[in-house]
Amino acid sequence: MNWNDIASAAVTIFLIMDPIGNAPVFNAVLSNLDKSRRVLVMIRELLIALLVLLGFLFAGNRILMFLGLTQSSLNLAGGILLFLISLRMIFPNPTPSPQAEAEIEDPFIVPLAVPLIAGPSAIAVLLLLSSNQPERLLEWSIALILAWLATTVLLIVSPYLLSFIGKRGARALERLMGMILVILATQLLLDGIRDFIESL
């Protein structure tokens, strides 16, 4: 095993997962839960994200070839989903329905696991690694797990890191993250459109 390549891939995947940037989003979405349940939901979502990423690492190319999907379609779909999520963060519903509140209290898969952790960029990097050097899947799996462990630790302790800013600071960070997600969503959409045009 080439541990230098594993470390390099792990750092790249960790940066793409962006736990520091996603911490305010995680805490905003899970703000209505008590601390013990918040940790359980967070771990559940992170485990789902890991399974999704491992699935794309080992079977992503076959799935994309079978369905006839392209990288541009991944970027476009991820950009649209991120854009919708960011709009909810910037313009929250002041009077959510009971059903909406239940969804916010206990999110499942979307938006925490996918696309915040297992997003199009992380999937694209894993697809690139697995397609370029499929004989090194074990090494890329180790890199992914290392990046995931670091992300999990940072996100679990993030409430304590963010507690000193208070509710107003948390709301401000939530809106700021919404603005950043709008920019990221726009970039994903532009990348998808560019890739689609280049493929014509």
Q: Which residue has the higher pLDDT, 19 or 42?
A: 42
| Nearest by Cα to 159 from 47, 25, 13, 50 | 25
Least confident range of 41-50, 150-159, 162-171: 162-171
pLDDT band for 3, please (50, 70, 90 cuts). very high
**79 Cβ neighbours under 8 A, 6+ residues apart:** 120, 185, 186, 187, 188, 189, 191, 192
Residue 31 per-residue DSSP state: T
Model pTM greater than 0.75?
no
What average pLDDT does the chain have?
81
Per-residue model confidence (pLDDT) at position 47: 97
Q: How far apart are the first and last CA of the chain?
A: 40
Tell me the average pLDDT across 103-128.
80
For 51, the token pair is 């399974």
pLDDT band for 102, please (50, 70, 90 cuts). very low
Contact 159, 28 (CB under 8 A): no
Q: How far apart are CA 181 and CA 165, in angstroms?
A: 21
Beta strands in the chain (DSSP E): none
Contact 80, 185 (CB under 8 A): yes
Per-residue model confidence (pLDDT) at position 46: 97
Least confident range of 30-44, 70-84, 85-99, 117-131: 85-99
- Residue ranges per domain, the chain? 3-16+23-199
Per-residue model confidence (pLDDT) at position 121: 75
Q: How far apart are CA 141 and CA 130, in angstroms?
A: 10
Least confident range of 32-36, 47-51, 140-144: 32-36
The runs of H, that is alpha helices, within the chain are 3-17, 19-29, 35-67, 71-90, 98-105, 120-132, 137-162, 166-199
